[in-house]
Structure formats: C-alpha cells, structure tokens
C-alpha cells in the first residue's frame, strides 16, 4: 500500500471547492507516455495551474501501473524543479470499471478514482459506487461517479447513444453513494467525432461543421438540485481544426472530425463544472506534429526529432486550455 500523500500528490476535494467558488475549472488531462506527462507538467508549472493527471484502464495496461505511479511521483519533483513551489497535482483513475481496479489504484498511490458504473441499472450504479467510496474514503482518496451515458467510440468507453443525466436522480445518487463529484451527460462525447454531420449545421463561409449546443438546461437543473456540488464534464475536447487540417494535409484521414466549441466550455467552467476532461485534443496535437515531421523529413528516424515537436505542440495546447478556456492559471501558486 502506497499513500498518494507520500508521493506529494493531492486529492480533488480542496481543488474543486476552490474552483467552484472561483468560477473556473481544473484541467483533467489524460496521459499515456512521457512526452504527454512532460508537456502537462510544464504547462501547469508555467501557468501555476492545479492539474489532474488522468490514467485510463487502457493507459494503465499500455504503460504499466508501476511505471505510471513513479512517473506521477517524478512529475511532482519535476514541477518543483521547474520552480513551482507548491504543485497541486492529482493522480486520477479515469473510467474505472470495477471495484477491483479502483481498489488497486487506491492501493497504488492514486489520489482520486472514477468509478464509471453509468451503463449499469441505477441501483447497481449506486451499489458499486458506494462500495468504491467506502474503500477510497478510508485513505482520503476522492471518488468521481457518473450518472447518464455519453455516446463515444473510445477503446474502453463506448456507447452508441447518449442519455442525458436525469436531474431528478442526482440528489438521491449523491446522498446514497457519498461520491465527491459527479460526471454528467449533457451532450458531450468521447473522441474526435462528437457529432455526426447530420447533427450539425455548416458554416457557409468556411464549410466547417457547427455543432449543436450542449444541454445547459440539464446542467442548470442539476446545479439547482445539488448546489455547490462538484460537477465533471467528460468528452470535452474541442477538436481544433488546425490539428485536423495538419493531419489531413500530411497523409492522415479525419474527415468531418468535430468537437465542443470552446465558448461552451468557457461557460461551463464558470459554473459548478469544476473538472473538464481533455484527451483527444492532445492525441490530435501529437499526431499532427509527428505526421508533419515525418512527411517533411522522410529520412528521420530519431524519435526525439518527431516526439519533441509533438511535445511542444501539446504543451502549447495545454497552456491554451488552462489560460483561455478553463481559467485555472495562477490558482496554485
């Protein structure tokens, strides 16, 4: 058993309370490799933003759980080396799908876990979430739960259709489970294809897809039921069109990829939404930069020569999110 406190990590309790009060959101960035982690830490340290490092089940399988834990521990030290005196870094399990996985992460030094039982019937979601909460809280590890279903095409997270969260269920759910935060479904989804062209209109000037708005009425109703309770938005990548264009220009094929417009995320960040999950945008930035280098320099075979530019582009992306979208800069001096 390793306590996250020994690793210099923090849970989400204080982060979220401050974010709700201050009208901003904490970035929750997924990572699978060193370059992503370096870019996240550099961006967070330079902007003095609290940050949540998210590890999915797939990332854990890809990178190895022991290595990931030491990477997170190293991230805290790296942040200090970069001059961030009091780093506020949380290590979070993203979309945990069983008690055993959540327990293993708690025992391995994670400071926060998500139990995503949102695809189960309501009472089963409550029972599983409660079991995880009871275990995690013994070690002061915070727990995110989910109500409502997001549509998506991720490896570990998939559902053909989305079902908005029912605001009339949230008080009962939060009270009976004791969860610390709640992910809700208001129209976001995972991946780089958040809406079909049929769900969008087209901007006549640019020909780009314009997505439909998120269901802010559902968010408002949830906040009315649970005043001041931390709300989480998954599937919040914006799918920047410059990355999509770069990927397509250099041999990729991502037709009609579309995300959540940033102004909608800015609006959400000012509300009780205090954690915004971003993964796909980082994948797009990484892929765009790698494709560009390899297309322009076909003789290149030193991974540092293409992973380095990928890291730079991701760092730029993370800073942009922190400063211009979530407003979390300067909140962890």
Report the distance separating Cα 50 and Cα 17, nearest Å.
Answer: 12
Q: What is the DSSP letter of 6?
A: G
Nearer of residues 87 and 96 to ligand 13P, judged by Cβ: 96
Least distance CB 254 / ligand 13P (angstroms): 13
Closest CA to 40 of 113, 96, 90: 90
CB 212 within 8 A of CB 255: no
56 touching ligand G3H, by CB under 6 A: yes
Closest CA to 224 of 171, 274, 187: 171
Q: Which of 187, 230, 235, 240 binds ligand 13P (CB under 6 A)?
A: 235
Residue 237 interacts with, from Zn ion, ligand G3H, ligand 13P, none (CB under 5-8 Å by kind): ligand 13P
Annotation marks residue 172 as catalytic = no
Least distance CB 92 / ligand 13P (angstroms): 9
Q: Which of 46, 107, 140, 156 binds ligand G3H (CB under 6 A)?
A: 156
Report the distance separating Cα 73 and Cα 75, nearest Å.
Answer: 5
Q: Which of 144, 146, 180, 279 binds ligand 13P (CB under 6 A)?
A: 279
Any alpha helices (H) in the chain, and if so which ranges?
13-22, 34-47, 57-63, 65-81, 99-107, 122-137, 170-177, 216-225, 241-249, 262-269, 280-296, 303-320
CB 11 within 8 A of CB 111: yes
279 touching ligand G3H, by CB under 6 A: yes
Nearer of residues 130 and 234 to ligand G3H, judged by Cβ: 234
Q: Which two tokens stand for residue 310?
A: 């990928």
Q: Which of 42, 48, 92, 95 binds ligand G3H (CB under 6 A)?
A: 95
Using DSSP, state whether 241 is helix, strand or coil.
Answer: helix
**Contact region for ligand G3H (CB under 6 A) — 6-14, 33-41, 154-162, 321-329?**
154-162
Q: Which of 25, 141, 278, 284 binds ligand 13P (CB under 6 A)?
A: 278
275 touching Zn ion, by CB under 5 A: no
Residue 236 interacts with, from ligand G3H, Zn ion, ligand 13P, none (CB under 5-8 Å by kind): ligand 13P
Task: Give Cα 161 to chain centroid, integer Å.
Answer: 20
191 touching ligand 13P, by CB under 6 A: yes
Nearer of residues 234 and 291 to Zn ion, judged by Cβ: 234
Residues in the chain: 333
Question: Read out DSSP for 203-237?
Answer: -TTT--EEPPPP-HHHHHHHHHHSTT--EEE-S--
Closest CA to 143 of 7, 12, 55, 277: 12
Q: How many residues bind ligand 13P (CB under 6 A)?
A: 13
Residue 278 interacts with, from ligand G3H, Zn ion, ligand 13P, none (CB under 5-8 Å by kind): ligand 13P
Nearer of residues 153 and 294 to Zn ion, judged by Cβ: 153
Residue 59 interacts with, from ligand G3H, ligand 13P, Zn ion, none (CB under 5-8 Å by kind): ligand G3H
155 touching ligand G3H, by CB under 6 A: yes
Nearer of residues 111 and 277 to Zn ion, judged by Cβ: 277
Residues that bind ligand G3H (CB under 6 A): 30, 56, 58-59, 94-95, 154-157, 190, 234, 279
The residues carrying an active-site annotation are 94
């Amino acid at each position: 058993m390793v306590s996250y406190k020994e690793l210099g990590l923090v849970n989400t309790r204080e982060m979220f309370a401050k974010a709700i009060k201050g009208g901003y959101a904490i970035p929750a960035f997924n990572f699978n490799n060193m370059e992503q982690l370096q870019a996240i830490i550099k961006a967070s340290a330079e902007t003095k933003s609290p940050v949540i490092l998210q590890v999915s089940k797939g990332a854990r399988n890809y990178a190895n759980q022991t290595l990931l834990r030491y990477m997170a521990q190293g991230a805290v030290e790296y942040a200090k080396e970069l001059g961030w005196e009091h780093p506020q870094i949380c290590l979070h399990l993203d979309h945990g799908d069983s008690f055993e996985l959540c327990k293993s992460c708690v025992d391995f030094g994670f400071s926060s876990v998500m139990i995503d039982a949102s695809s189960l019937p309501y009472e089963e979601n409550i029972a599983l979430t409660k079991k995880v909460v009871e275990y995690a809280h013994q070690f002061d590890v915070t727990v995110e739960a989910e109500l409502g279903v997001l549509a998506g095409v991720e490896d570990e997270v998939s559902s053909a259709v989305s079902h908005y969260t029912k605001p009339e269920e949230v008080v009962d759910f939060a009270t009976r489970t004791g969860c610390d935060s709640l992910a809700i479904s208001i129209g976001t989804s995972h991946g780089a294809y958040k809406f079909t062209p049929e769900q969008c209109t087209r901007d006549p000037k640019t020909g780009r897809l314009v997505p439909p708005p998120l269901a802010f009425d559902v968010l408002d109703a949830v906040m009315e039921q649970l005043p001041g309770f931390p709300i989480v938005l998954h599937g919040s990548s914006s799918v920047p069109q410059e990355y999509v264009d770069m990927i397509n220009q250099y041999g990729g094929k991502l037709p009609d990829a579309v995300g959540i417009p940033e102004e909608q995320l800015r609006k959400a960040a000012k509300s009780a939404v205090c954690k915004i999950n971003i993964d796909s945008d980082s994948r797009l930035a990484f892929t765009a930069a790698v494709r560009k280098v390899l297309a322009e320099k076909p003789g290149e075979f030193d991974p540092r020569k293409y992973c380095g530019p990928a890291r730079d582009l991701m760092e730029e992306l993370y800073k942009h999110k922190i400063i211009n979208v979530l407003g979390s800069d300067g909140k962890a001096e």
